[in-house]
Structure formats: structure tokens, C-alpha cells
Amino acid sequence: MTYRLLFQAFVFVFFIAGCHVQRPAKECSTYMEAADPSPDKTADWSVVKPGLMASVGSVNDLYAKSSVPDVETSSSWKGSAWKGERISAQLVLWSREAISQVEYEFSAFKSSDGGELPASIAQARFVRYVITDEFSNGCGKRKPEDFAASLSPDVLDPLDCFDMEPQTTRPIWITIDIPSDAASGTYTSSMELFANGKKHSTFTFSIDILPRILPPASEWEFHLDLWQNPYAVARVHGVEPWSDAHWEALRPLMQMLAGAGQKVITTTLNNRPWGGQTEDAFGSMIDWTKKSEGGWQYDYTVFDNWVEFMMDLGIKSQINCYSMVPWGNQLYYFDEKTGEEVKIIAEPGTEGYADLWVPFLRDFITHLEQKGWKEITRIAMDERAPAEMQAMLKLLNETAPGLGVALADNHKSYKLYPDQLVDLCVAHGAVVEPDDRKYRESKGYVTTWYVCCADVFPNVFTFSPPAEAAFIGWYTVAAGFDGFLRWAYNSWVKEPLLDSRFRTWPAGDTYIVYPDARSSIRFERLVEGIQDAEKIRILREELQNDSSGEAKEKLDLLNQTLASFNIIEKPERLEELMLKGKQVLEQISR
């Protein structure tokens, strides 16, 4: 009788204990990834032990889906952060057999002195693979068969669980948002990993929260300008442009952009300012109508709704309006008399150009003044030749004096119009002379830089090493720029979640985030670099205002470290350079 009772007690205890590690069965629904165009045929999965393998990885590595990852197995991660900062880590999973229902669960972050932060500050997202290609010659038309294709891990998918295929690798991207009111100290959390419905392993995350506060993104001084394409959102989500469903789809995507510190609202003055070179051509946010009895009528409904929508999300520093010099000098309007859209070619400096733009500018200025937006509005141009720019500026100054101008300048022409470019963005590698930089700063003008399909380094293609995205923030500060421009936040290709290649540029050139407000490794690392740039700015200002010898030593160390980032060519060991910079930044932050 005694043995029977003991056996029953053992079974009961075992059952109760099992209840704590067994997860309810669920279906892990998700979309299918594209087939691997170049699987690793040398991978020897037979050497992998049975069951799920898991380890802390590196945020600098892109783990191939079909390869056995080369990692030194570890179950603990340590990092440091300012209050208000977002930090990232990466786990990597791999298995030679199918694994179902991979899930995770964080515990609260606790410090040794009794402090506690909720588990909700941490988020794990399964990294999804997209087809990518290679830089090759950069810009130019592309036939897929002429460029090496592969799978690249980039999409961050906020799934509850994930089913792994056999002989595959699957990264997990971890982000931890430190509350701005957190107490300083070292906090530790455990992340339980589950597989096949059962507890598999435990990972430890330890964060040293420093006694520094990073302001909210809306207060960052870094001038971020990632061009938005709302028309791509309408197409991918299958909704009518500017319908309620369109606004609903736009909101989380643009909220994510605001959280990166975006400063500029991308708007269009006329139809197709860049021609049709993107998958989704930009429409006009202002309707131009030539009246039957003569004169013009302009409908600003979409323009106003879009600007107000973005401002409500916190993006309110600048409105860039494209373009008085559109690609191909093509302009569109609706002719009320014929009931048809008219397309004409009107080159700056011609009578036809003035006939279109003079009445519009006069009406537009009045509208901007009524809305209270004139001071932050810029007539924006993209890589336009000096002759066209000068003719356009002459008309603008005569018709709408005082309206600011923005230019992405790849002609090194900014000296031709020094007091008209309130926002100057130069191509990577171009030099803004020190005297010009000082003059622009004294006037409160913005001076930034950009990369595009022509730049192999640094860039945010889907095949680019992740450290390059973070480097962008460091280079911006080191080279003395106010911020960074990238032409495409979300100009999505046909199937952005599957294949990031495009018909004319390296893969990933047209977008850095994904539908349904899915982030990416590239975007998270770009924001990381922007956060670092803000931290450097804050520390510099503090040290420059401190006359002590210790402050001077720290400032010298910071400036010497930054000088090593003022480079055009890619260094042999970019990851080591980034690590050294971050170590110095942490040292001074303490």
C-alpha cells in the first residue's frame, strides 16, 4: 500500500511539473518563403546532433538558411544601453530535422537591488528570408539570370510561433526597449525557448542600464529623410488609394518611421515626378484642373490629408514637395474642356513652363500660408542638372520668394545657389567645403548626404553586411553632416516579402521595411546608428561645456575615435571598427 501511494505521488508530481513545460498545441501559420536559388551544397547536416540546436549569435552576421551556422554555442548575452534606447541581439536556431511550434517567453528583467522592468520591453521576431542578388555594376537594367541570386535573412516577422523545415537555419532577432524612466543598474531576464510544444532551453539576457537618457525620437536632431511611397502601400494591400483602408494600412508603417526620428514628409506636386521607374509610380497629391473658361483650379485634399496624417504621427519638421523639375520634364493636368488628362513636356526656362508653374505657385503659397506650413515647406528636386535648376530657381524667386528649396545633388553644383538650398543633400563621397559648411550652419541650413544604387559601401541592400547600416550614423557625425537621406523607405517591388530584386538596381535598393509594418535587420541597425549619433552629440555638447581636464581627455578620445569613421572606402574589418567605437562610447557614457 505504501509503495502504491508513493508511486501515485510520483506520477502526480511528474504530471504537475510537466504542465509547466508543455505548451498547448497550436498551428503556426505564416507565408511560404521563396525557394532557395543557391542552396549550400557543401553543408554537412549529418554532423548536427538530433533535435533543435540554438545559440546566441551576432547582430553582424547574416546566417544562411541552408548552411550549418558557424557559431560558438552560448546561452547568455550581455549588453549596455542608455535609458530610452533600443538595443538588439540575435539568436540562431538550426536543425537537421523538422521542428514544430518554436516559441519563446521572456521573464521580467530584475536587478540585484530589487528593481524590475516588465518582460514586455523585450520582443523576439523570427527572421524571414528574401531573394537577393549582388552589387555587380550597381545601377542599370538587370536580367535576373545575369546576377548571382541567394537567400538573405532580413524580414522581422512578429509571429507567435514558427515551424522549422529540416536542414535549415532560422535566426531570431531580439529587441529590447529600455524605458526612459528606468533606474540605472544591471537587469537580467530569462528567455525560455520551446520546441515541439516542450521547453527546450533557457537564454539569459543581462543589460547594464547606464545613468544617461536618450531623448524620444521626436527630439533627435539627426535629420533623417527616408522617402515614403504611400502608393506602394495601396497596391500591396489591395486597397483604394486614400480610402479608410489605405490610411489604416499606412498608420503602423509610418509610425515605425516616426519612431526612427524621421524629419521629412514626402509629397508630390504633380503626377510621376520620377517617371515610372518604381514598381508603383507616385501620383499627384494635388489635382490640377484647367477650367473650360480659362484659369486653373487646384484641389489640395490629398496633400492636406497626407501632411496632417504624418504630422499627427510626429513627423512635422519639414515638407518636401516633388518636383518643379520632374524626370523628363513631364507635367500632367486635367483639361475640363476635353475631359481628359493632358501630359506635356515643359522645360525650365520656357514659356510653357512658366504658364504652368506661375499660377500654381501663387495659389500654393496662399494655401501654405493658410495652413501655417510655408516656413517648413521645401520645393524639392532630385539629381537635377545645374541649367535646369538655375532656370527653375529664377522663376521660383520671382513668383514665390522665400519658399525654401531642397536638392539631392549629384552634380556638385551647390555653390551655384548657396542661399537658395535650405536643404542640401550631397552624394556619398562629395565634399562640402569647410567654409561652405560653416556658412550653411550659420544660416540654419540643413546639410546631409545620401547613398543609392551607385554605392557599394556603405549601403542597406538586402545583401549588405548589417554593420554598414549602423555605420551610416557614425559616418554622418564623423563627416560633419546633419543627417542622412535614402530615397526609398517603402517603394516595394512586386513581391517584397519573397524577392527583393528589382529590374534596374541591386536588391533591396527600393525599400528597407516590409508590408504590415514588418521591420528588417537593415532598418533596426540603421536606427541603432542614428541612436549612437544622438548619443555622440549629447556627450560632445556636455564635454565641450566642461572645462575640467578629465572632460578634455574624454572629448579628445571621442573625437579621435570619430576620425576613424570619416572614411569613404570600406575598411577591412568594419565590425572591429564598429565594436571599438561602441566601446569608447560606452566608456565615456559611464
Nearest CA to 424 out of 77, 437, 435 is that of 437
pLDDT (tens digit, 9 = 90+) per residue, 502-514?
999 999 999 999 9
Q: Is the pLDDT of residue 2 over 90?
A: no
Residue 440: CA count within 13 A, CB half-sphere: 23
Q: State the DSSP H helix or E strand holding residue 81, giving kind and residue range, or none if neither.
A: strand 76-83
pLDDT (tens digit, 9 = 90+) per residue, 452-490?
999 999 999 999 999 999 999 999 999 999 999 999 999
Q: State the DSSP H helix or E strand holding residue 585, giving kind and residue range, or none if neither.
A: helix 574-589
pLDDT (tens digit, 9 = 90+) per residue, 314-347?
999 999 999 999 999 999 999 999 999 999 999 9
Q: Environment class of residue 480 by beta-carbon count within 10 Å: exposed (0-12), middle (13-18) or buried (19+)?
A: middle
What single-letter amino acid sits at 466?
A: P
Locus of grid cell 505657385 = 361
pLDDT at 427: 97
Helix (H, G, I), strand (E, B) or coil at 135: coil
H, E, C per residue of 412-435:
CCHHHCCCCEEEEEEECCCCCCHH
Dihedral of CA atoms 375, 381, 385, 386 in degrees, nearest 10, equals: 0
Cβ(92)–Cβ(223) under 8 Å?
A: no
CA distance to 178, 245, 265, 281, per residue, from 278 (Å): 38, 23, 19, 6
User: b or e along 270-303 (b: 16 or more beta carbons within 10 Å of the residue's beta carbon)?
Assistant: bbbbbeeebbbbbbbbbbbebeeeeeeebebebb
Locus of grid cell 542599370 = 140
pLDDT at 388: 96
Locus of grid cell 501515485 = 8
CB atoms within 10 A of CB 377: 22
User: b or e along 353-363 (b: 16 or more beta carbons within 10 Å of the residue's beta carbon)?
Assistant: bbebbebbbee
Q: Is the whole model's pTM more than 0.85, yes or no?
A: yes
Cβ(43)–Cβ(168) under 8 Å?
A: no
